[in-house]
A and B are shown apart, each in its own frame.
Chain A
Amino acid sequence: MTGKELIFKTLRHEATPRAPWVPFAGVHAGLLTGADATQVLTDEEELVKALLEVNRLYKPDGQPVVFDLQLEAEILGCDLVWAKDCPPSVSTHPLAETMTVPCRCKLPTAEKGRMPMVLSAMRRMKEAVGETTALYGLLCGPFTLASHLRGNDIFMDMFDDEDYVKDLLAFCTDCAKRMSDLYLEAGMDVVAVVDPLVSQISADHFEEFLSEPYTEIFRYLREEKKAFSSFFVCGNATRNIEVMCKTAPDSISVDENVDILEAKKICDQYNAAIGGNIPLTSIMLHGTQQDNMKYVVDLLEQLPEYRNFIVAPGCDMPYAVPVENAIGAAQAVLETESVRHMVENYVSQQEDVDVQLPDYQNLQKPLVEVCTLDSATCAACTYMMGAANAVKEVFGDRIDMVEYKFTEKENIARFKKMGVKSLPSIYVNGVLCFSSIIPSRDELVEEIQKVL
């Protein structure tokens, strides 16, 4: 079964052999190819290259193509401030001084703003990986878009002029439908409506202002476009999970501020799938590879069955998430049982396994040590091992090469002794040369020649 089929089954609320995995690698994708956030969000070549690398290393079942909630706002007249390590921010709000609703003639089209670049990247991703990976088109949800256009006054407007807010949200709903049309034409399988500000209002306000727009968007996607939908929220949206479910998306996605197991019980009542919620900062950004594997394994262990559940980061992954952390999370989803054993062994491993490290100072010939989670099952490890095998062919008997798999208890002790922090990695003569990012053949050859 392909990853795409796994996602489709989940969104059809059928049981699956394992939980699907959707890493929200937005700007973070650029880290894998050396592109910054601005390049990833403005340069089609950089974007596609980065997304393909995400697909190769993280083995996603589903994958967003662009994660930028400012796309529509930019088209509708908001100024953006760009950064190298995060998506752009809106700096001006065209409706801040005027309580008007923009003309429908201003809605996004395939030609406006960055849409030509985004839609072309979507078509190329569809062509390249669309057979096996479910592709997500992400659009800015009506409430967050309304706040981009109107600024923070939108919150006061909810008390002062309810009709205006409803009119503006109707416009933003039309914008969401237009974006859906464009994304689906470009081959997206799932339309995700991303509305982080939903966590900032009460369930009563949600029902007053957002139930109708969202019900319409998800009806449109389901009945008129025959497409899958998802409703992404960030922040503590616990109280809004039920009203979100009532708008009938195929799935929702939440971050670490929500108790996902409790939220799943509510989603199950409405037969909506739920995705989440690897903590972005404490685990993905600042945690270790072990932390990421453990979090995912623990999360999956608490599920009664694999149905209506998607493993994903809490929201758009920070740019600088260490690659090995995402690899660890991926491996934990894809090979849950084997990673469960790794984590158990790592936790219980004391110094009782006596591992002798080679005498690196007095080796007969260069020693290439490839440290992996398991090159048979972990994509990034397979590529790392492939790189090592390629240079072994070049050097033949002039070098020694060995793979140490984290699946074996002894190697856990070995990695601790060697000080291995991330997998996969390559050490030459006991010195770390490549960590998580797969070297080219030439790069690895160069490292070995230094010690030959």
Chain B
Amino acid sequence: MSILTDISENLQRGKAKVVKELVQQAIDEGIPVKQILDEGLLDGMNVIGEKFKNNEVFVPEVLVAARAMNMGATLLKPLLAEAGVEATGKVCIGTVKGDLHDIGKNLVKMMMEGKGLEVVDLGTDVDPETYVRTAKEQNCQIICCSALLTTTMGVMGEVVKKAEEEGIRDKVRIMVGGAPVTDAFCQQIGADKYTPDAASAADAAVELCKSLA
């Protein structure tokens, strides 16, 4: 078994310490950092994402896998910068104003990072101004809004309006998700993409970033 496969499989089992050791070993063996990232860490997270989409693994498994990925990614980060490897896109994400639920938002963030995207986490209870300001200041291609409550999902429409007012709609795509959100709602408020689960959100974000490139 190659060390990269080993990294991927240990990541899927959430073995953070082992993943960290194996990533260090791979670096020491001179394997290109981009290859360690793609074929080790992101490959493992990709498998977890697919299994999550198919209801084969659940929140706890995703969280420990993501923690293992982050342990390995911390070692790779400075080396990736040195090698001039850039993220595939940049996203700012948050749970909308009035809503403190963050499990779904965190899962999406992890899945997106697992696709090689850079993610700015705005936390919970995020007002429309903060999403739009962050997207402008940090050159995010995507604003990603999460809501668990039927009473807060309306804020997503305000985010779309704010982005229009600030004149960034041609440069920034807006994604929405969360238990009460539907594709029809997404269209109704003029957002760009609804996805029903975290793994699909990450796939969609990658596609949207490509379309903007």
Question: Which listed residue, A83, A159, A205, touches B151 by the CB 8 Å rule?
Answer: A83
Question: Which listed residue, A81, A159, A201, A280, touches B14 by the CB 8 Å rule?
Answer: A159
CA distance A220 to B59 in the complex (A): 30
CA distance A238 to B149 in the complex (A): 22
A155 interface hit (Cβ, 8 Å)? yes
Residue in chain A with minimal CB distance to B101: A89
Residue in chain A with minimal CB distance to B60: A155
A440 interface hit (Cβ, 8 Å)? no
Please give me the 6 A-B residue pairs with the lowest Cβ-Cβ distance, nearest first.
A155-B60, A200-B59, A89-B100, A318-B150, A85-B151, A281-B180
Residue in chain A with minimal CB distance to B148: A89
CA distance A201 to B55 in the complex (A): 10
Residue in chain A with minimal CB distance to B125: A81
Interface residues of B (CB under 8 A from A): 14, 55, 57-61, 63-64, 67, 98-103, 106, 149-151, 179-180, 182
Q: Are B63 and A280 in touch, CB under 8 angstroms?
A: no
CA distance A196 to B98 in the complex (A): 20
Count residues on chain A whose CB falls below 8 Å from chain B CBs: 27
Residues of B near A280 (CB, < 8 A) are 150, 180
Q: Are A152 and B102 in touch, CB under 8 angstroms?
A: yes
Q: Given that A91-B100, A159-B14, A200-B103 are known contacts, is A282 also in contact with B150, CB under 8 Å in the complex?
A: no
* Distance from B134 Cβ to chain A, minimum over Cβ atoms (Å): 22
Question: Which listed residue, A83, A89, A156, touches B63 by the CB 8 Å rule?
Answer: A156
Contact with B along A260-304 (1 / 0, CB 8 A): 000000000000000000001110010000000000000000000
Most buried by A among B55, B179, B180: B179
Question: Which listed residue, B60, B61, B106, B182, touches A281 by the CB 8 Å rule?
Answer: B182
CA distance A201 to B100 in the complex (A): 21
Q: Are A200 and B58 in touch, CB under 8 angstroms?
A: yes
A243 interface hit (Cβ, 8 Å)? no
Residues of B near A231 (CB, < 8 A) are none
Question: Which listed residue, A81, A91, A156, A238, touches B60 by the CB 8 Å rule?
Answer: A156
CB neighbors of B among A69-118 (8 A):
81, 83, 85-86, 89-91
Residues of B near A205 (CB, < 8 A) are 58, 60
CA distance A280 to B153 in the complex (A): 14
CA distance A282 to B153 in the complex (A): 13
Question: Which listed residue, B61, B98, B100, touches A90 by the CB 8 Å rule?
Answer: B100
* Distance from A19 Cβ to chain B, minimum over Cβ atoms (Å): 26
Residue in chain A with minimal CB distance to B153: A281
Q: Are A201 and B60 in touch, CB under 8 angstroms?
A: yes
Residues of A near B63 (CB, < 8 A) are 152, 155-156
Q: Are B57 and A202 in touch, CB under 8 angstroms?
A: yes
CA distance A238 to B55 in the complex (A): 10
Q: Given that A285-B150, A318-B150, A319-B151 are known contacts, is A239 also in contact with B55, CB under 8 Å in the complex?
A: yes
* Distance from A391 Cβ to chain B, minimum over Cβ atoms (Å): 36
Q: Are B180 and A158 in touch, CB under 8 angstroms?
A: no
CA distance A281 to B149 in the complex (A): 10
Q: Are A282 and B182 in touch, CB under 8 angstroms?
A: yes
Q: Are B58 and A86 in touch, CB under 8 angstroms?
A: no
Residue in chain A with minimal CB distance to B67: A156
CA distance A319 to B149 in the complex (A): 11
CA distance A202 to B60 in the complex (A): 9
Q: Can you name 17 A-B residue pairings with CB atoms under 8 Å?
A: A81-B100, A83-B98, A86-B149, A89-B99, A152-B103, A156-B64, A159-B14, A159-B60, A159-B64, A200-B60, A201-B59, A202-B57, A202-B61, A236-B55, A238-B55, A320-B150, A320-B151
Interface contact tally, CB-CB below 8 A: 57
CA distance A238 to B58 in the complex (A): 13
Most buried by A among B55, B103, B150: B150
Q: Are B58 and A202 in touch, CB under 8 angstroms?
A: yes
A235 interface hit (Cβ, 8 Å)? yes
Residue in chain A with minimal CB distance to B179: A235
CB neighbors of B among A53-69 (8 A):
none
Q: Are B151 and A318 in touch, CB under 8 angstroms?
A: yes
Residues of A near B67 (CB, < 8 A) are 156
* Distance from B119 Cβ to chain A, minimum over Cβ atoms (Å): 17
CA distance A342 to B146 in the complex (A): 39
Residues of A near B98 (CB, < 8 A) are 83
CA distance A90 to B179 in the complex (A): 18
Q: Are A158 and B60 in touch, CB under 8 angstroms?
A: yes
Most buried by A among B58, B100, B103: B58
Q: Are B58 and A152 in touch, CB under 8 angstroms?
A: no
Beyond the given A152-B102, A200-B58, A281-B182, please list 12 additional residue pairs across the A-B interface where CB-CB is below 8 A: A83-B151, A85-B151, A86-B149, A156-B60, A156-B67, A159-B60, A201-B60, A236-B55, A280-B150, A281-B180, A318-B150, A319-B151
CA distance A282 to B184 in the complex (A): 10
CA distance A202 to B58 in the complex (A): 6
Most buried by B among A156, A205, A239: A156
Residue in chain B with minimal CB distance to A154: B60
Residues of A near B14 (CB, < 8 A) are 159
Residues of A near B59 (CB, < 8 A) are 155, 200-201
Question: Which listed residue, B61, B106, B149, B180, touches A152 by the CB 8 Å rule?
Answer: B106
CA distance A83 to B101 in the complex (A): 14
Contact with B along A197-224 (1 / 0, CB 8 A): 0001110010000000000000000000
Residue in chain B with minimal CB distance to A200: B59
Residue in chain B with minimal CB distance to A235: B179
Residue in chain A with minimal CB distance to B182: A282
CA distance A281 to B188 in the complex (A): 15
* Distance from A386 Cβ to chain B, minimum over Cβ atoms (Å): 33
* Distance from B57 Cβ to chain A, minimum over Cβ atoms (Å): 7
Residues of A near B55 (CB, < 8 A) are 236, 238-239
CA distance A205 to B63 in the complex (A): 14
Residues of B near A200 (CB, < 8 A) are 58-60, 103
CA distance A85 to B155 in the complex (A): 14
Residues of B near A156 (CB, < 8 A) are 60, 63-64, 67
* Distance from B3 Cβ to chain A, minimum over Cβ atoms (Å): 23
CA distance A152 to B102 in the complex (A): 9
CA distance A281 to B99 in the complex (A): 17
